[in-house]
Each structure stands twice: as C-alpha cells, then as structure tokens.
Amino acid sequence: MEIRAYQENDEISWVRCRVLSFLDTAYFDNVLKEKEKYNNPAIELVAIEDEQMVGLLDVEYELEERTVCSGGEGLGGMIWHIAVHPDYRRRGIAGQLLYEAEKIAKEKSLNRLEAWTRDDNWVNQWYQKNGFQNVESYLHVYLEGRDEMKDVLKSEIPGLYPVHAFAHYVGEEKDTIRKRFKRVHECICYEKKLE
C-alpha cells in the first residue's frame, strides 16, 4: 500500500471512496459530489492499493490560532475527512494515514488535532485507541415529516410546508430531544495533543 499526497486527478476516486466508506455509518447521507476545498492550508493524504483509492485523510490547519479548530491552545488541525473503503477495513489503513498526517502536522508546528464524529461506537473506539480525548459534544437532530415539524418549524409562505430539517441542539435537555425525534446523533469532538 502507498500513502501519498492527494492530487487533483484523484477527485473522482476520492469521492467514491468517501461515499462507500460512509454508507454504513451515522453519516450515511452526508454525500459529497466533489472534494471539499479549504480556505486554509491542508494536509491531504490518500492510501492506494491494487491501483485504487482505499483510504483518505484531510486535515485543514491553522496559521493563526482558532481560525479552524473550535478549541484548544496553540495551532491545531481539523480532521474534516477520514475514511477507509469498506473492503479494506481492519488492515490499519486509517492508522497509517493518521501517522503520516501527524508527522506532517508536527513539521508545520501544529500542537494538536481535532476531529468531530457521530455516535458510531467503532469510530469512537478508533479515535480513543489512537490517543484522542473526548472534549465536548452536542446533538445533530433530523426533523422529518409534518409530525416532527409541528410546533418546531413553520413557513411564513402560504402553501410551503417544511418536511425535512437538520439542526444542532446545544441545550441541556438531550434526553427530551432524543425521545421527541426519531433520528438524533451525538456529535462528539475529539482532540489529540501532538508531542
């Protein structure tokens, strides 16, 4: 397996790898049609095996404190995308991508990495196993259909009825929100200090 920098002609393979990797996760419907571009510098790595992309990792990093990451002190990098093709999981590919990204991050004088993920146990266990600490969380809430929208969202345009919405819940009544709506995910922030 080869780990190398992302190249522009990798975009279609990158999108396909990410889509397939996310299908069996809580982010199953977070589909991108093109690779994200960043406002700040980024570490963009891909893993290639059998002449196909089998993993990817994107870290946008700060040149000025708190311009990319949400917390911490010093310069950090945000892991926006990390994914391994489902047919190539459990081979250490994500760990190898992370190792390479950490080496580059240290060369760029970053002192930490931050990542946000949802409540898939296996994903959270991977972050914890790789030295990340849970630092905060809030809820991702999907509202679907008139029953869930009732008394929550209303349109001021006659004849226009919201039928689907996505919201962040940062309040204290998480159990109430989980009981009221069918699809609710804990969104967890992890941080890893780089030494």
Regions in the chain scoring below 70 on pLDDT: none
Tell me how far apart the alpha carbons of residues 58 and 36 are, in angstroms, rounded to a whole number.
Answer: 9
Where along the chain do the CATH 3.40.630.30 domains lie? 2-135+188-193
How confident is the model at residue 146, as a pLDDT? 84
Q: How does the average pLDDT of the chain come out, rounded? A: 95
CB 24 within 8 A of CB 6: no
Q: Which architecture, in CATH terms, is 2-135+188-193? A: 3-Layer(aba) Sandwich (3.40)
Q: How many helices (H) and strands (E) does the chain have?
A: 5, 8
Q: What DSSP assignment string belongs to 72-111?
A: -SS-EEEEEEEEE-GGG-SSSHHHHHHHHHHHHHHHTT--
How confident is the model at residue 132, as a pLDDT? 97
pLDDT digits (tens, 9 = 90+) for 142-151: 999 888 988 8
